[in-house]
Amino acid sequence: MKKLGSQRFHIAPGERYHLKHIDPHDDAGIDEKGEAKDLVEELQAKLQSFQQCLYAQGRHALLIVLQGMDTGGKDGTIRHVMGAFDPQGVIVTPFKVPTEEELAHDFLWRIHKAVPRRGMIGIFNRSHYEDVLVVRVRKLAPEEVWRARYEQINQFEKLLSDNGVAVVKLFLHISPEEQAERLRERQTRPDKQWKFNPGDLEDRALWHDFQTAYEDALTLCNTAWAPWYVVPADRKWFRNLAVSRILLDVFEGLELAFPKPVPDIDSYVIPDVPERQG
Ligand code: ADP
């Protein structure tokens, strides 16, 4: 269990993330068929009780930002890991190509509106990071515009953190070989074909540009108040385990506690329901 501390996936702010040095196939030496299953169950049970506490206490919100290349496993992560949570306490927001109205505002406008209220967990399936990723790689805005955004993002996330929102950012790191495999699966499996998007092939051709843009975002926006974690994501079971572990560490840092019960709670007697009249 020790070998799977969340620090395995994180580096100190100020250091540079080099993705080529991080193995997307990493499994931390954990045996999928052995300890992994028990570990996931144990972690999920703990996550569940932390969430209850977060909800009951209503002092903090948790914002989970999910980023990754196409087929990186954002949807799967949401299904498997977040499935541990009570749906009443979670809101998932996907960020697609901005609408005309969204484009008429600053890039954080649509993001800020989706930040979870205290007590809640918010999951961003893509996020404001698209504005320094796809926007940069596909040259949708001039360099001076996207370059200024790293600092704007840091300040925005500081505002959130200072106001009770714990921000945790997860980059699901897959290899180009694994992506090819998953794209082929989408192409050929009838239950997955609906996900096949020829546009994803264009982004694949820009793989290295995206990796560079990711490295910059991971490095320039890796702050003490909103850290980035790089999750090896070629093996889905390990990705799920790693994400659970990271979230658990974040929860532990929040010092959550159930609110105090009403005074003299023991003195209350639960009355019988009166007889029905007539
Ligand atoms: P997903 O791939 O997340 O399952 P889609 O296939 O609808 O869902 O893809 C969403 C698309 O929206 C992605 O190609 C992504 O790059 C794009 N997108 C998200 N945010 C922005 C943005 N701010 N500017 C331009 N494109 C964006």
pLDDT of 1 above 80: no
Q: What is the pTM of this model?
A: 0.96
Separation of CA 11 from chain center: 17
Give the pLDDT of residue 164: 97
Q: What is the pLDDT of residue 33?
A: 86
Average pLDDT over all residues of the chain: 95
* pLDDT tens column, 211-234: 999 999 999 999 999 999 999 999
Question: Nearest residue CA, atom 9 of ligand 1?
Answer: 96
Can you point out the beta strands (E) in the chain?
61-68, 90-94, 121-125, 165-173, 228-232
How far is residue 37's CA from residue 39's CA, in Å, rounded to a whole number?
5
Strand pairing of 228-232 and 121-125?
unpaired
Burial 93-105 (b: 16+ CB within 10 A, else e): bebeebeeebeee
pLDDT above 80 for 3: no
Query: Which ranges constitute the DSSP H helices of 64-220?
Result: 74-80, 100-103, 109-113, 134-137, 143-162, 176-188, 198-205, 207-220
Taking CB atoms and a 6 Å cutoff, what residues make up the pocket around ligand 1? 70, 94-98, 125-126, 130-131, 134-135, 140, 197
Tokens 């977060």 correspond to: 54
Contact 251, 6 (CB under 8 A): no
165 band by pLDDT with thresholds 50, 70 and 90: very high
Structure confidence at residue 278 (pLDDT): 83
CA-nearest residue for atom 6, ligand 1, is: 197
> For residue range 234-265, what is the model confidence (pLDDT) as tens digits?
999 999 999 999 999 999 999 899 999 999 99
Supply the DSSP symbol for 26.
-
Please report the atom of ligand 1 found closest to the CA of residue 131: 23
**pLDDT tens by residue, 266-275:** 999 999 999 9
Q: Which two tokens stand for residue 167?
A: 């921000």
- Nearest ligand 1 atom to the CA of 75 is 4
pLDDT of residue 206: 97
Q: pLDDT value at position 274?
A: 95
- Dist. CA 75–CA 64, nearest whole Å: 13
pLDDT (tens digit per residue) in 107-161:
999 999 999 999 999 999 999 999 999 999 999 999 999 999 999 999 999 999 9
Signed CA dihedral, 137, 153, 216, 20: sign only:
negative
- Domains defined for the chain, CATH in brackets: 6-10+24-256 (3.40.50.300)
Residue 98 Cα to ligand 1 middle (Å):
8
Task: Name the residue at shortest CA distance from atom 16 of ligand 1.
Answer: 134
Tell me the mean pLDDT in the region 166-187: 98
d(CA 219, CA 214): 8
| CA 202 to ligand 1 center in whole angstroms | 13
What average pLDDT does this structure show over 43-66? 96
The pLDDT value given to residue 81: 78
Arithmetic mean of pLDDT, 13-17: 97
CB-CB contact of 239 with 77 (8 Å)? yes
Q: How far is CA 14 from the centre of its chain?
A: 21
How large is the average pLDDT for residues 2-17?
90
